[in-house]
Structure 1
Amino acid sequence: MSRQVFPFSIVQDGKPSNGLAELSLLNSNTLRVKIVPDTESLSKQQMLSELVVLPQLTVDPLYSSTEQMRSEHLNIAFSENGLSISTAEGELLRVAQTAFKQQGDDSALSQHFVSSGEQAFYGLGQYPDGIFNYQDQSREICQSNKGIAAPLLLSTKGYAVLWNQLAFTQFTSQGEGFSFSSAAGECIEFYVIYGPEFDQVIQHYRKLTGAAPLFGRWAYGYWQSKERYVNAAELVATAKNYRDKKIPIDNIVQDWKYWGDLGWSAMQFDEQVFGDAATTIAQLHDMHFKLMVSIWPIVGKGSPVFKALLENGYLFETEHWADGHIYDAYSQGARDIYWQHLKAGLMDLGVDALWMDGTEPEFISTQNPKDGVEFCHQQRDTELGSWKQVLNGYSLMTTRGVYEAQRQQILQGAEDKRVFTLSRSSYLGQQRYAAACWSGDISATWQVLRQQIPAGLNLCAAGLPYWTTDIGGFFTSGFGANFPEGVDDDAYKELYVRWFQYGAFCPLFRSHGANTPREIYQFGEPGDWAFDALLKFDKLRYRLLPYIYSQAWNITEHGGTMMRLLAFDFRQQAQLHNISDQFMFGDSLMVCPVTQAMFHQQSLQQQLIAPEHLHTAEGLQGISEQHFSDDQFKQLVATQVVESIDGNWAGGPPAGLPLSGYSVRWQGVLTVPVDGEYNWLIHANDGVRFYLDGKLLIDSWQTQAQLNHKASCHLEANQQYQLVVEYAHWQGSSKCSLSWAHAGIAHQQTQLYPAEREVVLPAGLAWYNYWNKHCYQGGQTIAMGTPIDIMPLLVKAGAIIPHGPDVQYHDELPSDPLIIEVYAGEDGRFCLYEDEGDSYRYEQGAYSEIVFEWDNSKRCLHIAKRSGSFAGMLQQRTFIVHLISAFDIQRQTLVYVGEEQSLQF
């Protein structure tokens, strides 16, 4: 066996010490390294490390000695003073200083690496701040509302490091060195994976951690979600509206509180509001909808699942803000109880998919990830060990529970339909549990849209292939967002359309959010610019389903990646390494989202306050943050001076202030730029009062209502006015924002910026504009037009892209005829994958593949003999082939009956 254990120098509690290193070649591309302070620790970590990485068999190397190991691709030289990993092209990295430090009952540990030469670093998970290339950057690797921990680091030198620790981890890159430091662990364990191409790296990562099962074909269509459908009538009416208006869609989502007073996430429908839920779900199924329902790891007091988990000691002590407790997903017994109630209350009624919210887990609603970490660390130990050791693995374990239980049900004769779970958090290996993820409760701003692109790309680069975003941003008001009028605001419609265009080329295509409606038909009627643009991209997604579903098969069968940062395909082109707003979607399409406003200006120029999280462990603390409008609008707004931000308690205001009974008072000064009528708007979810120079303009002391409150007044130029907002709120998430607009500044319908964006074309091949088929040579930067219904979409030469018919849901019609677009200029290959659509019989070979190959020099399209079959397969197909070149478009049609054929052009 290719395993070596040898003495290794470490630093223990700040002092040089003698440790042990164990090297194991798992295959010719993958090396496992364990470093421990003593022999006893070598076996302790095994149980936790195999939560992420599946048990592996090692292979014999070509050569091994007491100082070297060698495989076909890797050369490893080692001694007690260090470890060097290289290939025939040179050294990849060196394992430098290793440190252990005892902290209470846990041992913190860190590993420093040296890797010289120019390179870019990607991966590590999903985070909201827009960092793309981690060279000379740092990252706290932990779960949060908007952060997903996945410590797989990819280098453009052709290797990856998988850091196999579940603890809170700090990554730091500086110069030619980088390090991982974890808060707890028995031993250091990491894997070095050599590609050198990123696709090869991810293939080996999936061999280590498990393949990503194929979702039902419906899951790659459009999903409609919002916070929230309040009853069965609204849910069914929304579905019916989509069908009546012939807008393509497959999945509708029921968000929280469907359980009524049964207790948070009781995983039962409230019969008074939803009636017989099985009948409602059957109605949706009759309209060819799938239903996804949200659940949480928090179970509310009084619910049957709470009682069962409490009786067996499976709940953590800290009370969640939703009047419930989090269950111990690290326990098989707890997962079994959780599933039993989930099955009886939801799955047995016909629910098709699960949305597992708050899986960080969310002990506290916070924008600061470290707050969530600290709350986890305060809990009693999990069944698998201390929270410090297993922190980042909660999502992995709770999604494991529902996946394994559903697969077991199928083995026992239940309906053979594929598992689909959407989880707010994820971790390395979670792809094997059919669990996708999304980017949390983001805000509706152009900056956030821009930052979502590198967030998703780095998550997919860490080996987790299925990701989505709240199209349009979860919050449209507060938390930095400033669109309180939502779908009634053309500026928001423009942002939503651009986000939707981007979302149509994410692995999963999903709209969700609060504050304003999200259904496509809420954005206008046919002929309205926003509605037409949305419908165009919705239909395009469905026409591309044969392409997308084939890419999904590549993920499952070959360890592929659908949403690909440019280094996946152009690793050697250093000029592309920092381009974070262009990406490949599958093998052939380059997506270039539009991330700035071009046509409509926000009608509310200034947002003065946006309290985010007013609750801490001690209670209400006051307004924590202010948000101001985007830079491009600053010239339109007044100079603002914030004199004070006071958090005052309900016991009474400071002397001289007019009112009591509020929880927060915000005070500011506004210097007015021009005379005229000013409109004021407060968006709040509880009672508010607004004063201008002591005069009460808005007095709305309602409770628990998502409302807009408006007022207007005349202000004089160059005068200063005192502003006071009083806000009363006591439970749940706090939302309050103040915006203003000068009535004379009309809502802009004219173009703000040139309707175009720059696109960098990778060198070495030609690129086609998908929309007009114009051909460009690679290796240049071009300006591409961006009218509201166009997002730049490029197709690489040699691409073969199938297009299906227009449909209202994924299987409304057979995928026939297929238009096969062939883009000349390079040789090309595409494998069309098809199966039953929503069963696991594909795992036993019930599927078909048809391979298309384009020989550019011979101008010949070869269609191979079909391999495989499945129930319901079309025996005869019509292919309408479009050959697209720099000069013209040629068309030929053929009837295909499964035998080898060729088309000559």
Structure 2
Amino acid sequence: MHRIPMNMLAGFLVIALVSACSSNIGSTQAAIPHDANVAPATFQQIADGVIVDVGGAAKQIRLEVVGEKIIHVTAIPGGGFDLPASLMAVKNGGDKQFTVSSDVGHVRLKTKQITADVATATGAVQFLDKDGQLILAEQPNGRTFTPVTVQDKSFYAVRQQFASPDDEAFYGLGQHQQGTMNYKSKDVELAQHNMDMGIPFVVSSRNYGLLWDNNSITRFGDPRPYQMIDKQLKLFDADGKPGGLSADYYVDGKLKLSRVESEINYQYIKDLKNWPVQLTDAKGITGGPGQTVEWKGSLASDVAGLHKFRLYVSGYFKLYVDDKLVLDDWRQSWNPWYRDFFVQLKPGEKHAIRIEWTPQSGYIALDHQDPPPVAEQNELSLSSELGHAVDYYFIDGRNLDEVIAGYRDVTGKSVMLPRWAYGFWQSRDHYETQEQLLGVVKRYRELQLPLDNIVQDWRYWKDDSWGSHQFDKARFPDPKGMIDTVHGEHANLMISVWPKFYPTTANYKELDAKGHMYRRNVEVGAKDWVGPGYLSSFYDPYSAEGRQIYWRQIRENLGDLGVDAWWMDATEPDIESNLDIDERKLRMGPTAQGPGAAFFNSYPLMTTMGAYQGSRESYPDKRVFILTRSTFAGLQRNAAAGWSGDVVARWSNLHDQISAGINFSLSGIPNWTTDIGGYALETRYEKPDAKDLKEWREINLRWFQFGAFMPLFRSHGQGVNREIYNLAPVGSDVYDALAWYDKLRYRLMPYIYTLAAGTYFDDSTIMRGLVMDFPGDVKVRDIDDEYMFGPAFLVAPVTTYEARSRDVYLPTGNSWYDFYSGKRYEGGSTIKADAPLERMPLFVRAGAIVPMGPAIQYTNEKPDAPITLIVYTGANGTFSLYEDQGTTYDYERGAHSRIPLSYDEASGMLSIGKREGSYPGMPAQRRFNIRWISGPTPMAVDFDAPAVQSIDYSGEAITVHKDEQAQ
């Protein structure tokens, strides 16, 4: 951990210290005599903290102690702290173990571990560790409040700036699609969107975190919204004339229109009116078949520095700067997103730019931001559009695991999912009939492909009955019998439930009668994409009554049939895709608690809360499991997992999911997944020729290999059926490799389920950024395509077509084993790792103890089967094998067991400790087979190879030496 000693703060912060200190511990209000330069410090001590009168933008600062390493900071421009209750936080203070002191110009709140120091002249707060070294400091005058009125309600736009040293790195902030690992000096907009999740929690390489308690659109980094390119730049056409870029519109390769355009802006539905009339068809469709556009010219700026650009786009696109190809990709037409790029500009210097675009009825916009002021370019800044205060939690830790534990202390424990959730899920868009769904489960069992969850996506209802939560009887004649059959095959059923309703349904009418439907979407006549198009809107989850009605409707129609888990889709909420942001804010409100704009990011938290709380009340002995397309701080307490939305089957998207998942996990929510293979497809994959079929199978296999080492393992997508046996013929090389990783996932279930338990008992993280486990290795800070899967495995997915090797950095301070061969490498170097089509580079840390189970078809098969303990020698190691019943909440009441495992390298001794705890149905006897990996061996992944030792374990401690039989 890098802290800054107080004597190094000159020029970084101004701190007034007075030798004669007046202690005010225990007083309700205190002031010390002021000198000629500094006003006396006045403050009021409260039960769990202190309120300090300050100068600067705020008039008062409140510090509340949540724990000895967590301080809740609230700053307001007026008096009083009568603020709305937090949605994300379940604990905002309450700890009374602290002292308060003051001297001229400062009030200090001190716990056993940290000190919060308030400079009364400016209101700036700094945080120091118990040795007096600086951890984090607000910038003097770095807090701003700008009055804003929305729908006759008063708010402030708020911002808080913090100093940050050059070598600091930032992570978390939810899930984003720009392929970025380290957010230092980057701009991140937190605004819920399909594929992009905003969680206002950032963690630092200096082992602290900031939880920003605000529900509106929030920006990390530059607070200024990006603008169209003509607002700050000088544009020139292809002939060098000022005023805009040359735009050429083609149909089937023939030039149809040329004009100069001052901006590239077909970003939202409202912007499509600017499309050339002569190229718009009779139905108003723009960018239809055969149409392409090329923009070319140059740009310049009077502002020197690194300029930030974002291309918001769908369809096929290429972007060149100074004739260098910068972007080349594709995205499905209805789901555009941003691609970032940067250009170093000097005043007056022109740079050529060219964009080639095949719209496929998609969207495009190019926006830009000047470099921020030099003083702000390196700092930590958080800003939000609407709030009542600057409100954040400072969370310190010895490591990032402790920081994430602190986040969960504030926002709620991550409750355990059922064990079966960690098996393999099969899904597609969508099973059309009951017979089709049951046929998939049957086929998996016939092929002996492990499976635990079959997913029924949307449109199981009649087309005109979205929101009824009722099966179409013509296609699903016996839903209860279907679910019972799934259960009889030892599988589970997850079903899609949306917060979306057609006005013709009884459920809409009931919610609307109580004031719990957003009406604007219906009032403006917006129709969806199903059949002829239907009016629809979303319900309001911001009242307890609305959530209770919503859950009761689900329970009566689906839950009581035996559905096992809930897929809560479109929880942004995506009421109508491709609306501009201002219109989105209107259509997602007004909520029961205020304007939609003030609660823009929190919808997924509130709607999953209703399903979680309702399910626990309705089925108290059955673990809740929710999959949601959008997430927010606190979601982990609702038994909810996130997935990365409707990403596409492109190698670039596969690569970007790695950093997306790592940063999502670093945001405090441990369960995450993607659509293996990508949700949406280019048309070349839908009816592929031999060349495209080969690539389609390879991208699915590479994504599947990655998926086997995600917290949740799930195949899903549209266009082509995603079952293993439909991706590749049975017996083919690709099929065999898919099946091998499916089976490997189940072999690893004792290890994986222990990781899952750790998210509750230890507040741990499954998918781990390398910075978590190797904080002293600065080389890992920006690595965006490797991660740790628990303490043992280093995962390095392959994200390039036809690659048969890839560079892998092995962190320093450890030895590493190739999982497949047992070959040992020393850390601190980059190796060229083999990556044949059938295998993804995978390494195991020396000292790891990996428990593996037998070949099984579902997670609760053979609960008393032998477990193989594979010990990777070369370092000391520990593991604590966890077991419980798997589907109930008995674990919360102590019904679970732990078997401590430890390996001592010096003695070569494996210790299997005394079993701790018990649970109903726990096997009294357990056979452990022991295997040792110390170097290359042909049996590294021969999981049925004879064990070196086998012992029968009855719960008492026992030791095993790697060169001897059990003792």
Q: TM-score, normalised by structure 1?
A: 0.79
Task: Select which of 843, 855, 874 maps to 2:904.
Answer: 855
Taking structure 1 as reference, are residues 380 and 763 closer, same or farther at Cα in structure 2, changes over 3 Å only? closer
The equivalent residue for 1:621 is: none
Residue deviations 1:170-198 (CA, integer Å, cap 9, x gap): 11065431211111011110011111300
Looking at structure 1, the residues matched to 146 and 883 of structure 2 have their Cα atoms a distance apart, in angstroms, of: 54
Looking at structure 2, the residues matched to 546 and 73 of structure 1 have their Cα atoms a distance apart, in angstroms, of: 36
Task: Select which of 78, 89, 99 maps to 1:38.
Answer: 78
Q: In structure 2, what residue type is equivalent to 1:44?
A: L
The equivalent residue for 1:341 is: 553
Task: Select which of 933, 947, 951 maps to 1:894.
Answer: 951
Task: Select which of 827, 830, 833 maps to 1:778.
Answer: 827
Once the two structures are overlaid, the 10-residue window that deviates more, 308-317 or 261-270, is: 261-270
Task: Select which of 90, 94, 98 maps to 2:137.
Answer: 94
Once the two structures are overlaid, the 10-residue window that deviates more, 314-323 or 796-805, is: 314-323
Deviation at 1:527, TM superposition (A): 2.7
Deviation at 1:797, TM superposition (A): 0.8
Matches within 5 A, 1:370-769: 371-372=580-581, 374-411=583-620, 416-477=621-682, 485=688, 489-598=693-802, 753=803, 755-769=804-818
Looking at structure 2, the residues matched to 398 and 52 of structure 1 have their Cα atoms a distance apart, in angstroms, of: 16
Deviation at 1:380, TM superposition (A): 4.0
Deviation at 1:881, TM superposition (A): 0.6
* 8 Å CA contact 2:64, 2:92 repeated in 1: no
Task: Select which of 81, 84, 105 maps to 2:126.
Answer: 84
Deviation at 1:379, TM superposition (A): 4.8
Residue deviations 1:459-515 (CA, integer Å, cap 9, x gap): 11000111100000001126xx86653997111100000000001101000011001
Matches within 5 A, 1:7-26: 7-11=53-57, 19-26=59-66
Task: Select which of 108, 115, 122 maps to 1:75.
Answer: 115
Are 2:75 and 1:4 equivalent residues in the alignment?
Answer: no
Taking structure 1 as reference, are residues 234 and 486 closer, same or farther at Cα in structure 2, changes over 3 Å only? farther
* 8 Å CA contact 2:65, 2:93 repeated in 1: no
Looking at structure 2, the residues matched to 511 and 886 of structure 1 have their Cα atoms a distance apart, in angstroms, of: 34
The equivalent residue for 1:840 is: 889
Looking at structure 2, the residues matched to 159 and 51 of structure 1 have their Cα atoms a distance apart, in angstroms, of: 19
Q: In structure 2, what residue type is equivalent to 1:891?
A: V
Taking structure 1 as reference, are residues 788 and 841 closer, same or farther at Cα in structure 2, changes over 3 Å only? same
Looking at structure 2, the residues matched to 376 and 303 of structure 1 have their Cα atoms a distance apart, in angstroms, of: 25
The equivalent residue for 2:158 is: 109
Task: Select which of 861, 874, 879 maps to 2:923.
Answer: 874
Deviation at 1:525, TM superposition (A): 3.4
Looking at structure 1, the residues matched to 420 and 437 of structure 2 have their Cα atoms a distance apart, in angstroms, of: 19
The equivalent residue for 1:209 is: 411
Looking at structure 1, the residues matched to 886 and 582 of structure 2 have their Cα atoms a distance apart, in angstroms, of: 40
Q: Secondary structure at the match of 2:734?
A: helix
Q: Secondary structure at the match of 2:401?
A: helix
The equivalent residue for 1:639 is: none
Looking at structure 2, the residues matched to 10 and 383 of structure 1 have their Cα atoms a distance apart, in angstroms, of: 34
Q: Secondary structure at the match of 1:167?
A: coil
Deviation at 1:253, TM superposition (A): 0.5
The equivalent residue for 1:747 is: none
* 8 Å CA contact 2:697, 2:728 repeated in 1: no
Looking at structure 2, the residues matched to 762 and 211 of structure 1 have their Cα atoms a distance apart, in angstroms, of: 31
The equivalent residue for 2:27 is: none
Deviation at 1:868, TM superposition (A): 1.2
Q: Secondary structure at the match of 2:806?
A: strand
Task: Select which of 66, 76, 91 maps to 1:54.
Answer: 91
The runs of 5 or more residues in structure 2 that have no matched partner are 1-46, 223-375, 529-534, 941-946, 963-967
Deviation at 1:523, TM superposition (A): 2.5
Deviation at 1:54, TM superposition (A): 3.0
Task: Select which of 193, 198, 210 maps to 2:400.
Answer: 198
Deviation at 1:62, TM superposition (A): 5.1
The equivalent residue for 2:569 is: 357
Deviation at 1:7, TM superposition (A): 2.2
Alpha-carbon RMSD across the aligned residues, in angstroms, is: 1.8
Looking at structure 1, the residues matched to 730 and 573 of structure 2 have their Cα atoms a distance apart, in angstroms, of: 43
The equivalent residue for 1:720 is: none
Q: Secondary structure at the match of 1:274?
A: coil
Looking at structure 1, the residues matched to 546 and 687 of structure 2 have their Cα atoms a distance apart, in angstroms, of: 42
Residue deviations 1:339-364 (CA, integer Å, cap 9, x gap): 11100110001110000000001112
Taking structure 1 as reference, are residues 584 and 432 closer, same or farther at Cα in structure 2, changes over 3 Å only? same
Q: In structure 1, what residue type is equivalent to 2:631?
A: S
Looking at structure 2, the residues matched to 295 and 875 of structure 1 have their Cα atoms a distance apart, in angstroms, of: 41
Taking structure 1 as reference, are residues 859 and 380 closer, same or farther at Cα in structure 2, changes over 3 Å only? closer
Taking structure 1 as reference, are residues 453 and 474 closer, same or farther at Cα in structure 2, changes over 3 Å only? same
Q: In structure 2, what residue type is equivalent to 1:135?
A: K
Looking at structure 2, the residues matched to 55 and 177 of structure 1 have their Cα atoms a distance apart, in angstroms, of: 26
Residue deviations 1:416-458 (CA, integer Å, cap 9, x gap): 2110000001101010000111011111000000000001111
Deviation at 1:36, TM superposition (A): 0.1
Deviation at 1:775, TM superposition (A): 0.7
The equivalent residue for 2:312 is: none
* 8 Å CA contact 2:428, 2:715 repeated in 1: yes
Looking at structure 1, the residues matched to 135 and 479 of structure 2 have their Cα atoms a distance apart, in angstroms, of: 57
Matches within 5 A, 1:205-354: 205-261=407-463, 263-317=465-519, 318-319=521-522, 321-322=527-528, 323-354=535-566
Q: In structure 2, what residue type is equivalent to 1:254?
A: Q
Q: In structure 2, what residue type is equivalent to 1:402?
A: A
Q: In structure 2, what residue type is equivalent to 1:855?
A: D
Q: In structure 1, what residue type is equivalent to 2:75?
A: I
Residue deviations 1:756-778 (CA, integer Å, cap 9, x gap): 11110101110001111111111
Residue deviations 1:587-629 (CA, integer Å, cap 9, x gap): 111100000011xxxxxxxxxxxxxxxxxxxxxxxxxxxxxxx
Looking at structure 2, the residues matched to 282 and 262 of structure 1 have their Cα atoms a distance apart, in angstroms, of: 27
* 8 Å CA contact 1:444, 1:482 repeated in 2: no
Q: In structure 2, what residue type is equivalent to 1:204?
A: G
* 8 Å CA contact 2:846, 2:873 repeated in 1: yes
Taking structure 1 as reference, are residues 484 and 99 closer, same or farther at Cα in structure 2, changes over 3 Å only? farther
* 8 Å CA contact 1:256, 1:265 repeated in 2: no
Q: In structure 1, what residue type is equivalent to 2:118?
A: F
Taking structure 1 as reference, are residues 187 and 286 closer, same or farther at Cα in structure 2, changes over 3 Å only? same
Looking at structure 1, the residues matched to 497 and 56 of structure 2 have their Cα atoms a distance apart, in angstroms, of: 45
The equivalent residue for 2:295 is: none
The share of aligned pairs that are identical, in percent, is 37
Residue deviations 1:128-169 (CA, integer Å, cap 9, x gap): 121211001001101000111111111101111111100111
The equivalent residue for 1:605 is: none
Q: TM-score, normalised by structure 2?
A: 0.74
The equivalent residue for 2:350 is: none
Q: Secondary structure at the match of 2:571?
A: coil
Taking structure 1 as reference, are residues 154 and 21 closer, same or farther at Cα in structure 2, changes over 3 Å only? same
Q: Secondary structure at the match of 2:54?
A: strand
Deviation at 1:262, TM superposition (A): 5.3
